[in-house]
Structure 1
Amino acid sequence: MRHKTDWLSLLAGLLFIGIGIRYLTAPRPDALLMALILVFGLGFAGLIGIIAKTVRKR
């Protein structure tokens, strides 16, 4: 049985993995920049999730 990809969860997970890797490998990343990337990244993931759900219902 196949299930549909949850794009919001996939993209949000990849974003958090990327931020985690950045904090592990960089000496001290700028907290404000990382917060902005997080907010805009989650917004982008939400937008893609909404678009995918709309296209899927057609």
Structure 2
Amino acid sequence: MRHKTDWLSLLCGLLFIGLGVRYLTRPAPDTALMGLILVAGLGFAGFVAVIAKAARKR
């Protein structure tokens, strides 16, 4: 049985994995900058999820 892709969960998971890898592989970055990237990334993931849901209903 196939199910629809949950874009919000997928993109948020990739964002957190990317941030984790960034912290593990390089020196600690500026916390404020990483917080801004996190908030912007979550906002983008939410935007994509809304667009995907609207496209499915058509």
Q: Which runs of 5+ in 1 are unaligned?
A: none
Name the amino acid aligned to 2:53: K
1:24 aligns with 2:31: no
**TM-score normalised to structure 2 length:** 0.97
Which aligned pairs between 1:11-50 and structure 2 lie closer than 5 A? 11-50=11-50
Per-residue CA shift, 1:36-57, capped at 9, x if unaligned?
0000000000000000000001
Aligned length: 58
Per-residue CA shift, 1:11-41, capped at 9, x if unaligned?
0000000000001011111111100000000
Q: Which runs of 5+ in 2 are unaligned?
A: none
Identical counterparts, % of pairs: 74
Write out the 4+ residue segments of structure 1 that deviate beyond 4 Å after TM superposition. none
Superposition RMSD on alpha carbons, in Å?
0.5
